Amino acid sequence: MAIKFGPLNPNWGDGTRMTKKDGYRLILNKAHPRQTKSGYIPEHILIMEQHLGRFLFPAETVHHKNGVKDDNRLDNLELWASSHPAGQRVEDIVAWAKEILTIYEK
């Protein structure tokens, strides 16, 4: 069976939007730094970035609270940070905690 691309693919939207097989909705945005090779960015990332007023940091991800990958309502999205210190020495953890506070504390 041949792979169908573009409008022939059942997940294709109008060319600016599409849904992947795994359920994530994508938006065409060729100017975005996290775009895929084809120029798409996950919609949930765009929504969180718009809410934050900035691009996500490399160690940040956006989590769907209810597990539904196309439910991109802001109240269903959480910002997660996955950075952590390489070691577990107390001074490393304190330094990491201070860094996190400078980034996220309001």
Topology at the third CATH level for domain 6-104: Homing Intron 3 (I-Ppo) Encoded Endonuclease; Chain A (3.90.75)
What is the chain's pLDDT, residue by residue, as a tens digit (106 residues)? 455 555 555 555 566 788 888 889 999 999 999 998 889 999 999 999 999 999 999 889 999 999 999 999 999 999 998 877 777 888 888 888 899 999 898 7
Q: For residues 56 and 48, what is the distance between their CA atoms, to the nearest angstrom?
A: 8
Does residue 26 contact residue 17 with C-beta atoms inside 8 Å? yes
User: What is the longest distance spanned by two Cα atoms in the chain?
Assistant: 57
Looking at residue 74, what is its pLDDT? 96
From residue 78, give the alpha-carbon distance in Å to each of 32, 89, 98: 21, 29, 22
Domain edges within the chain: 6-104
Looking at residue 86, what is its pLDDT? 73
Task: Tell me the whole-structure pTM to 2 decimals.
Answer: 0.76
